[in-house]
Structure 1
Amino acid sequence: MNNLVSVPKNGSLVKTDSDTNFPTWSNWLDEIFNRDLPSVFNSNFNTGMTLPKVNIKETADAYLVEMAVPGLKKSDFNIDIDNQVLSISTEKSEENEQKGENYTRREFGYSSFKRTFSLPETVEEDKIKASYNEGLLNIHLPKKEEAKQKPARKIQIS
Protein backbone atom coordinates (compact mmCIF):
# COMPACT_ATOMS: atom_id res chain seq x y z
CA MET A 1 0.00 0.00 0.00
CA ASN A 2 1.34 3.43 -0.93
CA ASN A 3 1.29 6.31 1.49
CA LEU A 4 0.99 9.55 -0.41
CA VAL A 5 1.32 12.93 1.16
CA SER A 6 -0.86 15.74 -0.12
CA VAL A 7 -0.29 19.36 0.85
CA PRO A 8 -3.53 21.33 1.27
CA LYS A 9 -3.69 25.11 0.80
CA ASN A 10 -3.20 25.77 4.51
CA GLY A 11 0.23 24.07 4.35
CA SER A 12 -0.37 21.28 6.85
CA LEU A 13 0.69 17.76 5.91
CA VAL A 14 -2.01 15.12 5.79
CA LYS A 15 -1.31 11.41 5.16
CA THR A 16 -3.63 9.58 2.84
CA ASP A 17 -3.88 5.95 1.70
CA SER A 18 -5.60 6.83 -1.53
CA ASP A 19 -4.09 6.33 -5.00
CA THR A 20 -6.64 8.67 -6.51
CA ASN A 21 -4.73 11.90 -5.88
CA PHE A 22 -1.48 11.23 -7.75
CA PRO A 23 -0.15 8.27 -9.70
CA THR A 24 2.93 6.60 -8.31
CA TRP A 25 6.20 6.87 -10.22
CA SER A 26 5.96 3.24 -11.29
CA ASN A 27 2.38 3.69 -12.52
CA TRP A 28 3.38 6.80 -14.41
CA LEU A 29 6.37 5.07 -16.06
CA ASP A 30 4.26 2.02 -16.90
CA GLU A 31 1.75 4.32 -18.54
CA ILE A 32 4.44 5.91 -20.70
CA PHE A 33 6.21 2.74 -21.81
CA ASN A 34 3.29 0.34 -22.07
CA ARG A 35 0.93 2.43 -24.15
CA ASP A 36 0.84 1.86 -27.89
CA LEU A 37 3.25 4.03 -29.81
CA PRO A 38 1.79 6.12 -32.60
CA SER A 39 1.65 4.28 -35.89
CA VAL A 40 4.26 6.61 -37.37
CA PHE A 41 6.89 4.80 -35.27
CA ASN A 42 5.75 1.36 -36.44
CA SER A 43 5.42 2.07 -40.14
CA ASN A 44 7.94 2.27 -42.92
CA PHE A 45 8.74 5.94 -43.50
CA ASN A 46 9.45 5.49 -47.20
CA THR A 47 6.54 4.25 -49.26
CA GLY A 48 4.77 1.97 -46.86
CA MET A 49 6.32 -1.27 -48.16
CA THR A 50 6.42 -3.73 -45.33
CA LEU A 51 8.27 -7.00 -44.98
CA PRO A 52 6.42 -9.40 -47.30
CA LYS A 53 4.69 -12.44 -45.85
CA VAL A 54 6.09 -15.86 -46.73
CA ASN A 55 4.56 -19.32 -46.84
CA ILE A 56 6.92 -22.30 -46.77
CA LYS A 57 5.61 -25.75 -47.59
CA GLU A 58 7.46 -29.06 -47.53
CA THR A 59 6.48 -31.85 -49.88
CA ALA A 60 8.00 -35.31 -50.29
CA ASP A 61 10.53 -34.07 -52.86
CA ALA A 62 10.89 -30.29 -52.36
CA TYR A 63 10.37 -27.17 -50.31
CA LEU A 64 8.15 -24.47 -51.79
CA VAL A 65 8.51 -20.82 -50.83
CA GLU A 66 5.67 -18.42 -51.71
CA MET A 67 6.08 -14.69 -51.15
CA ALA A 68 3.32 -12.14 -51.77
CA VAL A 69 4.95 -9.07 -53.36
CA PRO A 70 2.47 -7.30 -55.63
CA GLY A 71 3.41 -4.29 -57.72
CA LEU A 72 6.91 -5.44 -58.62
CA LYS A 73 8.49 -6.87 -61.76
CA LYS A 74 10.72 -9.93 -62.14
CA SER A 75 13.67 -7.64 -62.74
CA ASP A 76 13.16 -5.98 -59.33
CA PHE A 77 14.21 -9.12 -57.41
CA ASN A 78 17.64 -10.36 -56.37
CA ILE A 79 17.70 -14.01 -55.31
CA ASP A 80 21.03 -15.35 -54.09
CA ILE A 81 22.36 -18.47 -52.39
CA ASP A 82 25.52 -18.27 -50.35
CA ASN A 83 26.66 -20.84 -47.78
CA GLN A 84 23.23 -22.50 -47.67
CA VAL A 85 21.48 -19.17 -47.05
CA LEU A 86 18.76 -18.12 -49.48
CA SER A 87 18.42 -14.32 -49.76
CA ILE A 88 15.49 -12.60 -51.45
CA SER A 89 15.73 -8.83 -51.78
CA THR A 90 14.55 -5.88 -53.80
CA GLU A 91 15.31 -2.19 -54.05
CA LYS A 92 13.05 0.17 -55.87
CA SER A 93 13.31 3.92 -56.20
CA GLU A 94 10.93 6.26 -57.95
CA GLU A 95 11.19 9.88 -58.92
CA ASN A 96 8.22 11.87 -60.18
CA GLU A 97 8.34 15.44 -61.36
CA GLN A 98 5.45 17.65 -62.42
CA LYS A 99 5.94 21.10 -63.84
CA GLY A 100 3.24 23.71 -64.12
CA GLU A 101 3.13 27.40 -64.87
CA ASN A 102 4.00 28.55 -61.40
CA TYR A 103 5.31 25.43 -59.70
CA THR A 104 7.53 22.40 -59.88
CA ARG A 105 6.70 19.38 -57.76
CA ARG A 106 9.19 16.57 -57.24
CA GLU A 107 8.56 13.43 -55.26
CA PHE A 108 11.06 10.73 -54.43
CA GLY A 109 10.23 7.28 -53.16
CA TYR A 110 12.40 4.41 -52.04
CA SER A 111 11.44 0.95 -50.87
CA SER A 112 13.40 -2.20 -50.17
CA PHE A 113 13.32 -5.44 -48.24
CA LYS A 114 15.51 -8.45 -47.68
CA ARG A 115 14.45 -11.85 -46.38
CA THR A 116 16.96 -14.61 -45.66
CA PHE A 117 16.41 -18.29 -44.97
CA SER A 118 18.85 -20.97 -43.84
CA LEU A 119 18.51 -23.94 -46.14
CA PRO A 120 18.80 -27.51 -44.92
CA GLU A 121 21.66 -29.55 -46.33
CA THR A 122 19.09 -31.70 -48.12
CA VAL A 123 18.36 -28.99 -50.73
CA GLU A 124 19.89 -29.50 -54.15
CA GLU A 125 21.14 -25.96 -54.73
CA ASP A 126 21.92 -26.40 -58.44
CA LYS A 127 18.29 -27.15 -59.30
CA ILE A 128 16.53 -24.25 -57.49
CA LYS A 129 14.02 -22.41 -59.68
CA ALA A 130 12.05 -19.21 -59.18
CA SER A 131 9.03 -17.70 -60.93
CA TYR A 132 6.99 -14.53 -60.49
CA ASN A 133 3.39 -14.25 -61.60
CA GLU A 134 0.65 -11.79 -60.63
CA GLY A 135 2.33 -10.57 -57.45
CA LEU A 136 3.39 -14.00 -56.18
CA LEU A 137 7.05 -15.03 -56.09
CA ASN A 138 7.48 -18.83 -56.04
CA ILE A 139 10.77 -20.55 -55.31
CA HIS A 140 11.08 -24.31 -55.79
CA LEU A 141 13.83 -25.90 -53.67
CA PRO A 142 14.20 -29.56 -54.70
CA LYS A 143 15.52 -32.08 -52.19
CA LYS A 144 18.51 -34.30 -52.88
CA GLU A 145 17.60 -37.81 -53.93
CA GLU A 146 18.66 -39.38 -50.62
CA ALA A 147 16.51 -36.88 -48.67
CA LYS A 148 13.30 -37.52 -50.59
CA GLN A 149 10.58 -39.24 -48.63
CA LYS A 150 10.24 -42.88 -49.60
CA PRO A 151 6.80 -44.46 -49.83
CA ALA A 152 5.77 -46.77 -47.02
CA ARG A 153 6.29 -50.46 -47.69
CA LYS A 154 5.21 -53.61 -45.95
CA ILE A 155 7.86 -55.89 -44.50
CA GLN A 156 7.20 -59.61 -44.50
CA ILE A 157 8.08 -61.65 -41.46
CA SER A 158 10.14 -64.75 -42.24
Structure 2
Amino acid sequence: MNEVFKRPSFDLRRSPFEMMEPLRRMFEGDMESSSIRVEELVDGNTLVVRAELPGIDPEEDVDISVAEEHLHIRAQRQERTEEKGKDRYRSEFRYGSFSRSIPLPKGVKNDDISATYRDGVLEVRAPLPAESEQEPARKIHITRG
Protein backbone atom coordinates (compact mmCIF):
# COMPACT_ATOMS: atom_id res chain seq x y z
CA MET A 1 0.00 0.00 0.00
CA ASN A 2 1.18 3.53 -0.70
CA GLU A 3 2.99 5.21 2.27
CA VAL A 4 0.87 8.36 1.97
CA PHE A 5 -2.27 6.44 2.96
CA LYS A 6 -0.61 4.76 5.94
CA ARG A 7 0.43 8.00 7.68
CA PRO A 8 -2.18 10.06 9.51
CA SER A 9 -2.64 13.63 8.26
CA PHE A 10 -1.58 15.04 11.65
CA ASP A 11 1.06 14.23 14.21
CA LEU A 12 -0.39 11.85 16.82
CA ARG A 13 2.33 12.83 19.30
CA ARG A 14 0.78 16.29 19.64
CA SER A 15 -1.76 16.81 22.39
CA PRO A 16 -5.32 17.77 21.47
CA PHE A 17 -4.66 21.22 22.97
CA GLU A 18 -1.70 21.77 20.65
CA MET A 19 -3.79 20.80 17.65
CA MET A 20 -6.42 23.37 18.64
CA GLU A 21 -3.84 26.21 18.83
CA PRO A 22 -4.48 27.60 15.30
CA LEU A 23 -8.21 27.72 16.00
CA ARG A 24 -7.64 29.48 19.34
CA ARG A 25 -5.41 32.09 17.69
CA MET A 26 -8.02 32.72 15.03
CA PHE A 27 -10.76 33.45 17.59
CA GLU A 28 -8.45 35.61 19.69
CA GLY A 29 -7.73 37.79 16.67
CA ASP A 30 -4.17 36.64 16.01
CA MET A 31 -5.02 35.69 12.45
CA GLU A 32 -7.11 38.74 11.66
CA SER A 33 -6.20 41.06 8.81
CA SER A 34 -2.96 42.95 9.03
CA SER A 35 -4.48 45.80 11.02
CA ILE A 36 -3.33 47.34 14.27
CA ARG A 37 -5.94 47.93 16.97
CA VAL A 38 -6.01 51.59 17.96
CA GLU A 39 -7.77 53.92 20.35
CA GLU A 40 -8.24 57.59 19.46
CA LEU A 41 -9.13 60.34 21.93
CA VAL A 42 -8.73 64.06 22.45
CA ASP A 43 -6.84 65.08 25.60
CA GLY A 44 -7.24 68.85 25.95
CA ASN A 45 -5.85 70.26 22.69
CA THR A 46 -4.04 67.06 21.68
CA LEU A 47 -5.15 64.13 19.56
CA VAL A 48 -3.90 60.92 21.19
CA VAL A 49 -3.66 57.68 19.23
CA ARG A 50 -2.78 54.53 21.18
CA ALA A 51 -1.88 51.38 19.26
CA GLU A 52 -1.56 47.85 20.68
CA LEU A 53 1.87 46.53 19.68
CA PRO A 54 2.95 44.02 22.34
CA GLY A 55 6.25 42.20 21.97
CA ILE A 56 7.65 44.63 19.42
CA ASP A 57 10.93 46.52 19.51
CA PRO A 58 9.80 50.06 18.63
CA GLU A 59 13.25 51.12 17.41
CA GLU A 60 13.63 48.16 15.04
CA ASP A 61 10.12 47.03 14.12
CA VAL A 62 7.93 50.16 13.97
CA ASP A 63 7.74 52.92 11.36
CA ILE A 64 5.57 56.00 11.89
CA SER A 65 5.04 58.61 9.19
CA VAL A 66 2.65 61.41 8.27
CA ALA A 67 1.54 62.02 4.69
CA GLU A 68 -1.51 63.60 3.11
CA GLU A 69 -3.13 64.36 6.48
CA HIS A 70 -2.89 60.72 7.62
CA LEU A 71 -0.83 59.13 10.38
CA HIS A 72 0.65 55.85 9.11
CA ILE A 73 1.82 53.19 11.57
CA ARG A 74 3.60 50.12 10.24
CA ALA A 75 5.04 47.31 12.35
CA GLN A 76 6.40 43.83 11.91
CA ARG A 77 6.59 40.98 14.36
CA GLN A 78 8.70 37.86 14.53
CA GLU A 79 8.02 35.29 17.22
CA ARG A 80 9.55 31.86 17.64
CA THR A 81 9.03 29.12 20.22
CA GLU A 82 10.90 25.87 20.66
CA GLU A 83 10.13 22.82 22.77
CA LYS A 84 12.80 20.22 23.35
CA GLY A 85 12.11 16.96 25.08
CA LYS A 86 13.66 13.54 25.43
CA ASP A 87 12.15 12.13 22.23
CA ARG A 88 10.65 15.26 20.84
CA TYR A 89 11.48 18.58 19.24
CA ARG A 90 8.89 21.13 18.18
CA SER A 91 9.46 24.56 16.69
CA GLU A 92 6.85 27.14 15.76
CA PHE A 93 7.22 30.63 14.40
CA ARG A 94 4.87 33.44 13.52
CA TYR A 95 5.63 36.61 11.68
CA GLY A 96 3.80 39.31 9.85
CA SER A 97 3.44 42.96 8.95
CA PHE A 98 0.75 45.19 10.35
CA SER A 99 -0.34 48.67 9.35
CA ARG A 100 -2.92 51.29 10.13
CA SER A 101 -3.67 54.75 8.72
CA ILE A 102 -5.52 57.29 10.83
CA PRO A 103 -6.86 60.53 9.34
CA LEU A 104 -5.58 63.67 11.05
CA PRO A 105 -7.52 66.92 11.42
CA LYS A 106 -6.63 69.68 8.96
CA GLY A 107 -3.89 71.96 10.20
CA VAL A 108 -1.95 69.45 12.34
CA LYS A 109 1.76 70.31 12.07
CA ASN A 110 3.90 67.26 11.31
CA ASP A 111 6.86 68.62 13.30
CA ASP A 112 4.79 68.75 16.51
CA ILE A 113 3.83 65.06 16.48
CA SER A 114 5.57 62.84 19.06
CA ALA A 115 5.49 59.14 19.92
CA THR A 116 6.32 56.99 22.94
CA TYR A 117 6.25 53.24 23.56
CA ARG A 118 5.55 51.68 26.94
CA ASP A 119 4.22 48.31 28.10
CA GLY A 120 3.29 47.18 24.58
CA VAL A 121 1.38 50.35 23.71
CA LEU A 122 2.55 52.92 21.17
CA GLU A 123 1.18 56.39 21.93
CA VAL A 124 1.27 59.12 19.29
CA ARG A 125 0.38 62.68 20.30
CA ALA A 126 -0.53 65.38 17.78
CA PRO A 127 -1.37 68.90 19.00
CA LEU A 128 -4.60 70.09 17.42
CA PRO A 129 -4.65 73.43 15.59
CA ALA A 130 -6.47 76.33 17.21
CA GLU A 131 -10.09 76.73 16.17
CA SER A 132 -10.20 79.22 13.31
CA GLU A 133 -12.98 81.64 12.66
CA GLN A 134 -15.57 79.80 10.64
CA GLU A 135 -18.84 81.02 9.29
CA PRO A 136 -21.80 79.54 11.10
CA ALA A 137 -23.70 76.84 9.26
CA ARG A 138 -26.57 78.15 7.22
CA LYS A 139 -29.48 76.42 5.57
CA ILE A 140 -29.68 76.69 1.79
CA HIS A 141 -33.17 77.16 0.40
CA ILE A 142 -34.12 74.96 -2.55
CA THR A 143 -36.23 76.49 -5.29
CA ARG A 144 -38.34 74.54 -7.72
CA GLY A 145 -37.44 75.13 -11.30
TM-score, structure 1 length as denominator?
Answer: 0.52
Stretch deviating more after TM superposition (124-133 or 66-75): 66-75
Tell me whether 1:88 sits opposite 2:73 in the alignment: yes
**Hey, what does 1:148 align to over in structure 2?**
130
**Hey, what does 1:127 align to over in structure 2?**
112
Whichever residue aligns with residue 125 of structure 1, its letter is N
List aligned pairs for 1:34-73, cutoff 5 A.
44=29, 46=31, 51-57=36-42, 59-60=44-45, 62-73=46-57
Give the deviation of 1:101 after TM superposition.
5.0
Give the deviation of 1:91 after TM superposition.
1.1
Bigger CA radius of gyration: 1
Whichever residue aligns with residue 115 of structure 2, its letter is A
Residues 141 and 40 of structure 1: CA distance in aligned 2, closer, same or farther (over 3 Å): closer
SS at match of 1:71: coil
Residues 93 and 68 of structure 1: CA distance in aligned 2, closer, same or farther (over 3 Å): closer
Give the deviation of 1:42 after TM superposition.
5.7
Alignment length, in residue pairs? Answer: 108
Identity in percent: 26
Q: Is the Cα contact below 8 Å between 1:89 and 1:113 reproduced in 2?
A: yes
Whichever residue aligns with residue 65 of structure 1, its letter is V
Q: Is the Cα contact below 8 Å between 1:44 and 1:50 reproduced in 2?
A: no
